[in-house]
Amino acid sequence: MATDEMLQGLMRNPERLKALANEAKEFALQHGVVMRTVETPDSSEVVTYAPFTLFPTPVPKAVFHQALAVQTHFNTLVDKISQDPGFLEEALASTIQADDFTAKLLGIYRQVQHEGRTQSIMMGVNRSDYMLDQREDRTSSLKQIEINTIAAGGFGVADHLPVVHRHILRLAGLLEESQCVPDNNSTAGIVRALAKAWELYGQQNIYTGFIHYLRQGGYVFAAVCLFYRYGDMPNHYKEKTWEARLLMERSLAVKCPDIGTHLAGTKKVQQELARPGVLERFFPDQPQVVEQIRATFAGQYTLDMGPEGDQTVAMSLAKPDEFVLKPQREGGGNNFFGEDIVRILEEVKGDKRRAAYILMDRIRPKVEHNVLLRRGLPLQLSSVCYEIGVLGAYVRHGGEMVLNEVAGQILRTKSIEHGDGGICSGVSVFDSPLIY
C-alpha cells in the first residue's frame, strides 16, 4: 500500500512527519473535527481536535460494500425485534436475573406494552460495527462486533474527516489515493429521518391536545422527537432519571429509540439471533436476507444456566484467547479477554450471575499501520486495527416502514495492544476508509 510506504518514509523524516501532523490537526480544527476536552467537558470556550488517524486506512471494496448493503436489513431486523415482546422476554429471561440495568429497561418495556403505545411513529438510528476477520488463506470476512440501537454517535466527525484525509494524502503526494476516500453524509441521512418523523407527526393533528393542556393552566412538555445521546449506560441513571425515561416512553413524542429498540440492541439479543433458525422467525420468506445477515455473524454462545451454558464455560476456560466475554454494557472498556475471562468465569460460573454475560469468538483483524493523532500521544508509527461502523436510519408509521436508509460509515482505529475499543474511553480514534 502506498500509504504504508509513505508512513515508512515519514518515520525516517521526523521533521516532515511533524509538519504533516500539524497540518492535519490545523485542517481538522478548521473543518469541524472537534471535541470538547476532558478537563472542561461542559465548556464551549475550549475545544480540541477529535482524535484521528494521520492517514485513512485501506479497506477492501467488496467488504465495504457488503457492510453497506446489509444495513437496511439490520434496520428492519431491529425494528421487528422491538415489536416482538415474546422474543424479547424469552431472549432476556436469564439476563434480567443477573443484570439489574437490563431488568429495569425490560420493566419499562413491559409497562408501556401493558398500557398501550401512545405513538405509532417510530424512528431508529443504529450503527452496526464490524471487524474484518483474517482467514487462514489471508482473505478476510466481515464480522459484526455489535449493533448499537441507542446513542450511536460520532457521525458529525465522520462526515468531516474525509476532507482532512484527502488533503493530507494530496500534501503527501498521494493524489490517486486521495480520490479513493469517499464522502460521508451521515448527518444528512439522519436528518432526513428526523424530518420524515416530524412530517408524519404534524399530520396526526394532536396540537389541539397541547392547547387544551395549556388552557388548563398547567405546562406541557412538548417534544416531537426524543433523540437519545445518552441513556445507554447505568451511570446515566439515577432514580429520577428512570422516572423521566418512563415519562418519555409514555409521551406522544417519537422516540429515537423507543424502549423495545433499545433492548433489541443488547448483546444477549445479538447472541440469541446467532442461533440456528432465529433469523428465519423475522424473515420467514426471505432466505437471501437471512443469508446476508447471517454471513456477518461470528460464533456466539449462551452462558445461561443449563448444559449449553456449561459447555460454553468449559470451552472458554480451555481456550480463553479465542473468545471475548461480554457483559450487557455499552461504551467500550467492559469486555474481558484472555486470562481475565478465566478470572471472571471462575468466580461466576457456578451460579446465575454468569447469565449477565455472553461469549463471542474473538475476531483477529489484519494489522495495519498508522499514526494516531491524539492529544498527549507521541507521534509514532503504531500497529493498528480498525472497526467499520455503518449507520442506518429509518422511520416506521404503524406497520409500515416509510423510510429505510444507509446513512454512511464511521471507521474507528485503535492500537492492537488494546483488546477493547471506544473513542470516549480513550482507546480508538476516528478514521476514514480508503477504498481499494
Residues in touch with ligand ADP (CB under 6 A): 129, 145-146, 298, 324, 326, 329-332, 334-335, 360-363, 387, 420-422
Q: What angle do CA 148, 154, 157 make, to 5 degrees?
A: 160
Contact indicator for 173, 394 with CB cutoff of 8 Å: no
Q: Which is nearer to ligand ADP, 72 or 334 (CB)?
A: 334
What is the nearest approach in angstroms of ligand ADP to the Cβ of residue 167?
28
Q: Which is nearer to ligand ADP, 89 or 361 (CB)?
A: 361
What is the nearest approach in angstroms of ligand ADP to the Cβ of residue 267?
7
Q: Which is nearer to ligand ADP, 25 or 127 (CB)?
A: 127
What is the nearest approach in angstroms of ligand ADP to the Cβ of residue 367?
13
What is the nearest approach in angstroms of ligand ADP to the Cβ of residue 270?
8
Q: Which is nearer to ligand ADP, 102 or 178 (CB)?
A: 102
The phi, psi pair for 205, rounded to 5°, reads 60, 45
Whose CA is closest to 424, among 32, 154, 21, 24? 154
Q: Which is nearer to ligand ADP, 63 or 168 (CB)?
A: 63
What is the nearest approach in angstroms of ligand ADP to the Cβ of residue 256?
18
Q: Which is nearer to ligand ADP, 24 or 325 (CB)?
A: 325
Q: Is 415 helix (H, G, I), strand (E, B) or coil?
A: strand
What is the nearest approach in angstroms of ligand ADP to the Cβ of residue 333?
7
Residue 326 to residue 359: CA distance in whole angstroms: 6
- Long-range interactions of 142-147: CB distance < 8 A, separation 24+: 142/63, 142/66, 142/67, 142/295, 142/296, 142/388, 143/296, 143/297, 143/298, 143/363, 144/270, 144/296, 144/297, 144/298, 145/363, 145/387, 146/265, 146/267, 146/270, 147/74, 147/78, 147/265, 147/270
Any idea how long the chain is? 436
Q: Which is nearer to ligand ADP, 335 or 404 (CB)?
A: 335
Pairing of strands 140-148, 121-134: antiparallel
What is the nearest approach in angstroms of ligand ADP to the Cβ of residue 100?
18
Q: Which is nearer to ligand ADP, 46 or 295 (CB)?
A: 295
What is the nearest approach in angstroms of ligand ADP to the Cβ of residue 433?
16
Position of minimal CB gap to ligand ADP:
421
Cell of 288: 437471501
Cell of 238: 439515577
Q: Which is nearer to ligand ADP, 163 or 259 (CB)?
A: 259
CB atoms within 10 A of CB 109: 21
Cell of 335: 469486555
Q: Which is nearer to ligand ADP, 62 or 416 (CB)?
A: 416
Residue 129 to residue 390: CA distance in whole angstroms: 6
What is the nearest approach in angstroms of ligand ADP to the Cβ of residue 337?
8
Residue 356 to residue 99: CA distance in whole angstroms: 5
Contact indicator for 299, 359 with CB cutoff of 8 Å: no
Cell of 334: 467492559
What is the nearest approach in angstroms of ligand ADP to the Cβ of residue 247?
26
